Structure 1
Amino acid sequence: MVDDQDRFPHIPKDLIEALDKRFPERTPSLNTSLDEIRWKGGERAVVRFLLEQYNRQNETVINKKVLS
């Protein structure tokens, strides 16, 4: 059972696509500073978190439709 603390607002697909495009997965170059790597890693961590939430939300919707 999902607790109210675990619920997350609906995430629109177009938001996920825009964030994924703006903050893509990238391998840093040898010239990239450690601070920049950390900053970019943090940006991408947020996108990965939202992608996971989006996938969970859609899985829940699909499962409810199948089980109904």
Structure 2
Amino acid sequence: MCVAISGKVIELKGKIAKVDFSGNIIEVNVSLLDVKVGSYVLVHAGYAVEVVKRELAEELSNLFADLEDVL
């Protein structure tokens, strides 16, 4: 089973983006997708694997936050 986390692209340099995951800024390889600053992406193993709408990204972030509260 694979888990992808959603985040917002805040900076883009070539095929490497800085992505904000609830305040945690991580460098992500975006070479598989056409992204721009402001895009929301799903990230797995350091690669952005899908561009998603803001609403879905927020919903996924909320679900993971709820899961953390339970664990």
TM-score for both structures, normalised by structure 1? 0.36
Q: Which has the larger radius of gyration?
A: 1
Of structures 1 and 2, the one scoring higher in RCO (CA 8 A, sep 6+) is 1
TM-score in terms of structure 2 length: 0.35
More helix per residue: 1
